[in-house]
Amino acid sequence: MTIFDLTLAELRTELDKREFSAVEITKAYLERITATNPGINTFITICNETALAEAESADKLIAAGQASPLTGVPIAAKDIFNTTGLHTTCGSRILENYVSPYDATAISRIKKQNAVIVGKLNMDEFAMGSSNENSAFGPVRNPWNTGCVPGGSSGGSAASVAARQAAAALGTDTGGSIRQPASHCSVVGLKPTYGRVSRYGVVAYASSLDQVGPVTRDVRDCALLLQAIAGYDPSDSTSVDTPVPDYQAVLKGNLDGIRIGLPKEYFIDGLDEDVRKSVEQAVATYRDLGAEIIEVSLPHTAYAVACYYLIATAEASSNLARYDGVRFGLRAERAENLIDMYMQSRAAGFGTEVKRRIMLGTYALSSGYYDAYYLKAQKVRTLIRQDFLEAFDKVDTLLTPVAPTPAFAIGEKVNDPLQMYLSDIYTIPVNLAGTCAMSLPCGFSTTGLPIGMQLIGKPFDEATILHTAHAFEQATEWHRKRADI
């Protein structure tokens, strides 16, 4: 086992035993990033100087016996988090030269524990995509098969952890953007309940759907990183002031009495046979572990994708209006007047998918169409949330596929937006409902591509899905497999 195979928790132990210094670990990771990044394109910014300075500070704290759980460990962040003194591009030309003057709350919280930030990660532009092919900086490639996508929009986050370029990463999830790439890259990814983790300083895509979460090697690391970033933040008006449990403490005990629901609407025609078999095998494992398996119904599932792409695009249309060439970001140089400057700046700065979603959202919000589309979508969203709450009256957690297929080839769906949007059919309902869910490895396809399963929990009950996931992980070996890169 190399230094790159150690989890966050294992690195913490080795650092405390002085087997390695934080500087040694950071140098090793930076060298690995430099060597492997050209093949998979995960990093937009590599923080060589600042990371080594942070590592030196971490070593001093460790020597003084003042280390926190994340002190000295290398973590990367999706390039959607404002980070002081670093470029924050959101994968877009319009923000290519933007340097953030402040830290997002999630960044400041891992900095408070003296984690080492090794870089900013590639992503679909403004988090709009399911394949990480929409980045202005080129597509991210899947470490398990570089001809395939890693999933999106947090493709850089999942791929960097799978490629052992970082011990863990931060991502965001608006419609599956942590869970789907985690599934495609055989890592663990958690979307917390809306309001559990602050969105302050995270560049907005769809404000009522966006949520920050961890991407890690295993469930224990997921609990560790969530512990660091969760909790109330007065700077975020949507942050919920509710107690944060001790997530490490729940990673023990058996599953006797745990009721796991299987939504019948998620196991239908169109689900890839390898995915179906892997998820069914996971269900069998849970039966052996003592969990009770119960079929449930989420009857409004069929409307989730349409509902999401009305609400998300409407909010994107509003949020992205600020990129106008005036205050920050790219500005057209030869505009004849103000309107021409707006048009030229946005035309040159935004990519095709972002433009498509802005236009869809603007149409849905326009006079005469608001009631027919956006308002109706909000009503359907309420029905979808009620489906989940009613299901949770019968079960403790839900188990579903993460994506209908394993990772697909780069370029396979890029010219068919509808097929691309359907890649998130199993993850989108969770964001609409505002509850929590996670992806964890549960198998591989016949062609050797990773497959993940999704555990969905009650609002603010991340503890139960972490406990349930950890039990499965301890009973299987899927999380121990490594991409050969």
Active site residues: 78, 153, 177
DSSP summary character for residue 447: T
Coil, helix or strand for 441? strand
CA-to-CA distance for 351 and 361, rounded, in angstroms?
Answer: 16
Please, are residues 216 and 225 in contact by the beta-carbon 8 Å criterion?
yes
Within 10 angstroms of residue 382's Cβ, the number of other Cβ atoms is 12
DSSP character for 422?
Answer: G
CA dist 34 and 165 (Å) reads 9
Q: Distance between CA atoms of 437 and 465, rounded to whole angstroms?
A: 7
Ramachandran region of residue 138, left (φ > 0), alpha (ψ -120 to 50) or beta? left
Beta strands in 109-181 (DSSP E): 116-121, 168-172
H/E stretch holding 179 reads helix 179-185
DSSP annotation of 21 reads -
Per DSSP, what are the bridge partners of residue 189?
215, 439
Cβ neighbours for 251, distance < 8 A, ≥ 6 positions apart: 219, 220, 223, 466, 467, 470
Instruction: Please choose, from the candidates 86, 79, 85, the residue with its C-alpha nearest in 3D space to the C-alpha of residue 42.
Output: 79
350 touches 358 (CB < 8 A): yes
Distance in angstroms (rounded) separating the CA atoms of residues 80 and 93:
13
